[in-house]
């Protein structure tokens, strides 16, 4: 009956080692392949342009069709 009450330490250490191995392999693969999208700059690379321009209304480009949203996911009542 003592065999069924083994310490979980070897299993925990094995899991931690496997987790570290997976993260190391993932990091190495990501470093070797580079950015995930063609337009994504490499870490630490400068894109050469910095935009400090902001809209006075807080509108974001590419959000057409989102009129009437108040930012909380609820539609605003218009005309009342």
Q: Where are the domains of the chain?
A: 9-33
- For the residues 39-52, what does the mean pLDDT come to? 64
CB 47 within 8 A of CB 41: yes
pLDDT band at 37 (very low <50, low <70, confident <90, very high): confident
Question: What does the DSSP 8-state code read for residue 5?
Answer: G
pLDDT value of position 14: 97
As separate numbers, helices (DSSP H) first and strands (DSSP E) second, the chain gives: 1, 0
Q: Is pTM, for the whole model, over 0.75? A: no
According to DSSP H, which parts of the chain are helical? 9-33
Residue 12: pLDDT over 90: yes
């Amino acid at each position: 009956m003592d065999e069924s009450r083994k310490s979980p330490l070897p299993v925990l250490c094995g899991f931690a080692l496997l987790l570290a191995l997976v993260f190391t392999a993932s990091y190495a693969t990501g470093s070797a392949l580079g950015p995930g999208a063609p337009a994504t700059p490499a870490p630490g690379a400068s894109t050469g342009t910095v935009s400090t321009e902001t809209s006075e209304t807080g509108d974001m480009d590419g959000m057409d069709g989102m009129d009437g949203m108040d930012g909380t996911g609820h539609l605003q009542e218009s005309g009342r």
